[in-house]
Amino acid sequence: MYPNFVVKFDPETDKIAQKVQLAGGMFWRSTLSHDRKKLMVVTNQQRTVEVIDLTTGTLVGNHLFQEEGITLRIRSVRECPGGEHWFIQTDRVKKELDRYSFEPTEYLLYDVKNQKVVKKVKKLPDVMGRSNRLSADGTHWLSSSGGNLRFLEARTGKELGKIDLSTPRFFGAGAIRLGGTDLLDRRDPNRSLQIFTTTDPVEKRRTNWGLIDIDLKNRKVTKVTEWGPSKSSWGMRVSYKKRIAVAMGRGRSSERLMTVYDLSNGKKLREAYHEFRPRRSLVAISPNGDKAYVGVAGSDFEVFDVNTLKRLPSVELEGEIVGTIHVVDG
């Protein structure tokens, strides 16, 4: 929240439960730690990573990145397995006698405890690819690159096994493409329940969607359920305590369509048109699936009852809301 706050918001009461003032001024981006206990926030004109303890609401770390003769700008923070090291992506601008010159992007392997850069590389290791994420228990990486779900050793990237999703399940069927949204919110180390899309076996120009149940422990697919043609919507928000999703769709004059889906069978439960200010979008759904929140470009949340799609009282914060909304335990 502008100008320099991180706010914990309680969707049960629609009130601020915690407000933390950042030491480095305006924030640029934030990353939730793998254990969901800390938030890493880039501040200080993109030179510092501040660490917030989400339980106590206090600053527990302040990590400044600088290099003589070079202006560093932090673009991303990636946590390594175990949380003891980060990979920091930096843009570098060199100060010449009469001008500034742009240097190649550099990644810093950073020792968090000892606050020092251990290594500099030109690109991230392949094991930390954009589509890769740490498993729920943090012991290995999961990668959906190449059309299959691959299990990679946490440090070396060696393949431990894979689940074949590209081979047709029956004649004419298309490959299964994982959507990346786990209905279990990546909290179960042994199981993943994901929305997927696939090419329709008859009408090849059409995409179907459905639900795939994956046994992560034994590395196999236990169930695939197709729901039919995919829905035209974007920004779908999924509640992890209840298989409910809300999405925004097409417009009608100054109105936008909001739709609620049952993610146990893919059926549409209800829909309604509402008028919004410009640059507004769906930003969150409460964990228990009873309220949806529309925000961006303002200091307020427009709140909707998911069971009726009727407006509830809006929530006004002290400053403009911006950045990523992270769902944490609390």
Asked whether residue 291 carries a pLDDT value surpassing 80, the answer given is yes
Angle at 316 between CA 312 and CA 319, to 5 degrees: 155
Give DSSP secondary structure letters for 139-160: SEEEE-GGGSEEEEETTT--EE
3-class DSSP state of 257: strand
Q: Which residues pair with 197 in a beta bridge?
A: 177, 209
pLDDT in tens, 120-150: 999 988 888 877 889 999 889 999 877 899 9
Say if residues 158 and 147 touch (Cβ distance below 8 Å).
no
Which pLDDT score is estimated for 121? Answer: 94
> Do 5-124 and 232-330 come out as alike in CATH topology?
no
For the domain 5-124, what is the CATH superfamily, name and number?
YVTN repeat-like/Quinoprotein amine dehydrogenase (2.130.10.10)
pLDDT mean over 242-247: 94
More confident residue, 30 or 201: 30
Residue whose C-alpha is closest to residue 298's, from 275, 322, 314 = 322
Domain ranges of the chain: 5-124, 232-330
Which pLDDT score is estimated for 89? Answer: 96
- Which option is the CATH number for 232-330: 1.10.3470, 2.40.128, 1.10.10, 2.20.28? 2.40.128
